[in-house]
Amino acid sequence: MLSAEVKSKYELVIGLEVHAQLLTKSKMYTSDSTEFGNLPNTHISVITLGHPGTLPKVNRKAVEFAIKMGLACDSTITRRNIFARKNYFYPDLPKGYQITQDKNPICVGGNVPITLSDGTKREVALTRIHMEEDAGKSMHLAGEVDTLVDFNRAGVPLIEIVSEPDMRSSEEAYVFLSEVKKLVKYLDICDGNMEEGSLRCDANVSARLWGAEEYGKKVEVKNMNSFRNVARAIEHEFERQILLIESGEEIISETRTFDAATGLTASMRTKEDLNDYRYFPEPDLSPVIVSEEWLSSIQGAMPSLPRELHHKFVNEYGLPEYDAGVLTDSKEIALYFEELCTLTRNYKAASNLMMGPVKSYLNELTLHISDFPIGPKRLAELIQLIDDGKVNFSVATQKVYPEMLIHAEKTPLAIAQELNLIQDSDEGSLIPIVESVLAENVVKVAEYKSGKKGLMAMFMGQVMKKSQGKADPKVATKILMELLDN
Amino acid sequence: MEKFISFDEIKKSLENRETDCSAIVKYYLQNIQTKAHLNAFVEVYEQSALAQAELINEKIASGKAGRLAGMVIGIKDVLCYDAHEANASSKILQGFESQFTGTAVQRLIDEDAIVIGRLNCDEFGMGSSNENSVHGRVLNAADETRVPGGSSGGSAVAVQANLCTVSLGTDTGGSVRQPAAFTGIVGIKPTYSRVSRWGLIAYASSFDTIGVFSKTVKDNALVMEIMAGHDNFDSTASRKPVPKYSELLHFDKRVKIAYIKETIESPALQPEIKANTLAVLEKLKNEGHQVEEVDFPLLKYTLPTYYILTTAEASSNLSRFDGVKYGYRTPNAHNLESMYKLTRSEGFGEEVKRRIMLGTFVLSASYYDAYFTKAQKVRRMIKESTEDLLNKFDYIIMPTTPSTAFKFGEHSNDPVAMYLEDLFTVQASVSGVPALSIPNGKDKLGLPIGLQIITNSFKEAELYAFANYLSAFNSN
């Protein structure tokens, strides 16, 4: 076993390669549908199948999606895009090569900002983002001697987001991935579903002694199907490498596969039988030129990004970092909240409502904010009701809000009135109530007057009870004090 | 039955009601049968051609016929034609039927050309003698002991022997021009990207072009103007407008012509070819054209550049033929790897395998920069030098081939000698400029000699006009 002491001598170095399947309607180089879940081999034209005489054609939407991701990550956008062929044989690769980008990826550099659980903020540097096509799926069916291939996925557009070896803990990797997922979903370019494979991640992991200048030999780990498994695989790989180094063995640059059941990694192939992909410029595609106009039209259509909204929520709305983090976690929640904040100035109350009752309602019913029955306008009216002192926060959330969920058409004020929940802040009507409470508790009043000030709460409770909860606590307290202290 | 040489004659006969499309198709079918031993056709579409002829007769009668009504064409076995086999003369595509029609062929059909069959060629367009074909070799009708040239040998012989009016070939490094020269007909390689490659089974994508064989320059120009132009299926196809070449054949200017010293003084050049080429240059001078000898020291690098880059692209283009999806699959495999290896070993011919290996080698990590990268740089130099030359001169003239048609088997044991056949044709291929071969007399054995005319990119109209002019005074 690896002792904490030994482990602490080593620094973990991680680079991630994230493949995101783009949400275009058609494939990267053909007009075949990208729809998921259809019968095998139903979205396969002669182009997808690589029939002789066919030629690819670039899907401009996919290029736009890649550019959007680049803009979101502050990458430099390559203006003259040349595609490249990556040559290898595999039954699910119809042409015997994948059309990808090699020397000039569409996005160069850039970064993804992350915030760790201890509040540390940093930016993870990106190497590149490039466009490519997915392969088909080999299927080993029970009872079948032959391996079957489904080419529906072949040619589906992907972007590959490659980070620098810039992460130092599995938590950083986890948060980086979460941020990437958040970004692609904000941009609406990928559904970010790692379990279904629309987001895939390979990790390059190495270990070195603290202070060492050279990186250790890196090992590529594949086949993690969740963020948690990426973190587990990295942790395991780090420890495996340290144990090897400590026992004087050499780390082999290799590809290893992660087994979620055991939490271990196992060797897939070593560098000796590494493929020589023989990249060269794709002669069947003319270069895709990103003009100034095209780029600015994409720039103009960029949605608000999590980091921008987070900044706005903290600096403009004065919300705590924590609130801003929760509210920007999902694009739709953030946009709902942003709209809500154009209708009320009580941002903290708005945030509390969103993070409390709204989120718990959605979570309980596993609903999406788009299915939320109450629009921002009504929710703003509810806040107004609290601000006006007509109901207090707990009455608002526990009595009015549940009714609003059922009767979305009614205003919160109408609901509060119907349920007789409007607070009474009229001294004229409250004085008789307070007087009668005091009259019914002569003994307690005497005790209060002799110094038992704690009885105030009891009197208050009685007042609330008598007023059926509608007494404005502030006004009632004031009257009580006046009458008792006389 | 009358003998048709040109499409003009056919059109005249149709106009005069001396014949109809059915009779024309039957005329060619008869010739194909008589000359079956030439082995030009791989498959003859007798029934569909006759049926199509009937339809076009109707169209002619109702005045709705297209511009190529009455034209009967053959297509090289690397061009896709919906619901017809396309084998690229390779065992690996045995039984493969294309599911679409390529753009060039479709545009001719749309103008009522009748496709009479597909034509033999070297496997995947790789060869200069049409000896590398799963369908067997093609005989040169001028001397049946000799090769017709390649790779579009079947296409050349089909026109040479009157088996169709015009034919389509493909030219990657000379595969239209060299067989046109060997068979004494007109053959063009257009500017790269002028004709869509959609439906052309790729050999080397950045060199491949679809060209035309014909008896006359005018027929050639007409077919080219119909095939050429932008195509949504090929992003590399040029968007430049296509002039009506066949209506721009008039030529009456004095022009500047260069001939490259390194070609005319090449030791490999057959003496009669040299003499006939010089004779044309002399005539041109006498006609008042400016004719100048120029140096082109890069000529010796054109062949190596060509073979490095085309084999690199071919090694990748031919990866799709793996036995997984279509075509030939070995019956002898016991696992995936042996399926790949045996399918490809059994399915490809020797020359194709040689080129796949060469191409794989020049793209391999350890040799990439020494070969592929360097060849790309040299290609750019050759292209720029050729264009510079063509900015100073209207045309470059040179022999199409160093020798006339050679005997079967003559170069079979020496691939490099075979590659030298392309010595004069690869310059235009490497540079992407258009080039055309016209007949230029015969050698002492009576074998046809070709003359090659090269001009700058997208100047096909000027190329055809000059070729038409030269053809006229050459036959005087």
CB B179 within 8 A of CB B156: yes
- Is 0.90 exceeded by the ipTM? yes
**Residue A185 maps to a domain:** yes
Tell if the CB–CB gap between A52 and B316 is shorter than 8 Å.
Answer: no
Residue with tokens 């399918």: B343
Residue B337 has pLDDT above 90, yes or no: yes
Domain assignment of residue A443, given as a range:
427-485
Tell if the CB–CB gap between B363 and A87 is shorter than 8 Å.
Answer: yes
Tell if the CB–CB gap between B320 and A284 is shorter than 8 Å.
Answer: no
Q: Does A109 touch chain B (CB under 8 A)?
A: no
Inter-CA distances, A367 with A359, A364, A371, A372, B259, Å: 9, 8, 6, 7, 79
Residue B104 and residue B234: Cα distance in Å, rounded? 11
**Residue A316 maps to a domain:** no
Mean pLDDT score, A35-39: 88
B201, B325, B360 ranked by CB distance to A53: nearest = B201
3-class secondary structure, B145: coil
Residue A271 has pLDDT above 70, yes or no: no
Residue B179 has pLDDT above 70, yes or no: yes
**Half-sphere exposure for B82 (CA within 13 Å, toward CB):** 8
Mean pLDDT score, A296-321: 94
Mean pLDDT score, B439-453: 97
| pLDDT score for A426 | 75
Number of domains into which chain A is organized: 2
Q: Does A57 touch chain B (CB under 8 A)?
A: yes
Active site residue B26: no
Confidence category of residue A449, pLDDT binned at 50, 70, 90? confident
Mean pLDDT score, B153-162: 98
Tell if the CB–CB gap between A89 and B322 is shorter than 8 Å.
Answer: yes
Query: A82-111: buried (b, 16+ CB within 10 Å) or exposed (e) per residue?
Result: ebbbbbebbbbbbbbbbbbbbebbbbbbbb
Q: How is residue B386 written in tokens?
A: 């050729």
Same domain assignment for residues A285 and A433? no
Q: How is residue A417 written in tokens?
A: 């009135």
Question: Which of A264, A293, A322 is the C-terminal boundary of a domain?
Answer: A293
Q: pLDDT digit string (tens) for A157-198?
A: 999 999 999 999 999 999 999 999 999 999 999 999 998 889
CB A30 within 8 A of CB A187: no
Mean pLDDT score, B395-404: 97
**Residue A75 maps to a domain:** yes
Question: Which of A293, A323, A357 is the C-terminal boundary of a domain?
Answer: A293
Tell if the CB–CB gap between A284 and B322 is shorter than 8 Å.
Answer: no
Residue B172 has pLDDT above 60, yes or no: yes
Tell if the CB–CB gap between B96 and A52 is shorter than 8 Å.
Answer: yes
- Give me the residues of B, 180-199, that contact A with CB < 8 A: 197-199
Q: Comparing C-alpha atoms, which of A171, A169, A167, A233 is closest to residue A16?
A: A167
Question: Which of A259, A293, A327 is the C-terminal boundary of a domain?
Answer: A293
> Rounded to a whole number, what is the distance in Å from the CA of B236 to chain A's nearest CA?
5
Walk me through the domains of chain B, giving residue ranges and CATH numbers: 1-476 (3.90.1300.10)
Residue A441 and residue A458: Cα distance in Å, rounded? 10
Catalytic residue among B90, B129, B133, B151: B151
Active site residue B175: yes
Residue B294 and residue B291: Cα distance in Å, rounded? 10
Helices B217-227 and B7-15, packing angle to 10 deg: 90
CB neighbour class for A72 (10 Å; exposed up to 12, middle 13-18, buried from 19): buried
Residue A187 and residue A112: Cα distance in Å, rounded? 14
CA A306 to chain centre: 9
Residue B23 has pLDDT above 80, yes or no: yes
**Residue A148 maps to a domain:** yes
Residue in chain B nearest A52 by alpha carbon: B201
Specify the long-range contacts of residues A208-211, CB closer than 8 Å, at least 24 apart: A208/A10, A208/A11, A208/A13, A209/A9, A209/A10, A209/A11, A210/A9, A210/A10, A210/A11
User: Residue length, chain B?
Assistant: 476
Q: What is the rounded average pLDDT for all residues in chain B? A: 96
CA A483 to chain centre: 56
Residue B319 and residue B124: Cα distance in Å, rounded? 13
Residue B213 has pLDDT above 80, yes or no: yes
Same domain assignment for residues A243 and A98? yes
Q: Comparing C-alpha atoms, which of A295, A189, A86 is closest to residue B363?
A: A86
Q: Does B363 touch chain A (CB under 8 A)?
A: yes
Q: What is the CATH number of the domain that holds A440?
A: 1.10.10
> Rounded to a whole number, what is the distance in Å from the CA of B327 to chain A's nearest CA?
10
Q: Does B441 touch chain A (CB under 8 A)?
A: no
Tell if the CB–CB gap between A285 and B80 is shorter than 8 Å.
Answer: no
**Residue A94 maps to a domain:** yes
- Give me the residues of A, 447-476, that contact B with CB < 8 A: none
Q: Let me know the angle formed at the C-alpha of B192 by B207 and B289, rounded to the nearest 5 degrees.
A: 120
Which residues 6+ apart lie within 8 Å of B333 measured at CB? B323, B339, B342, B343
**Residue A443 maps to a domain:** yes
**Residue A376 maps to a domain:** no
Most confident range, picked from A33-37, B191-195, B267-271, B409-413: B191-195
Active site residue B62: no
Chain A and chain B share a number of CB contacts under 8 A equal to 99
| pLDDT score for A98 | 98
**Residue A415 maps to a domain:** no
Residue B262 and residue A68: Cα distance in Å, rounded? 54
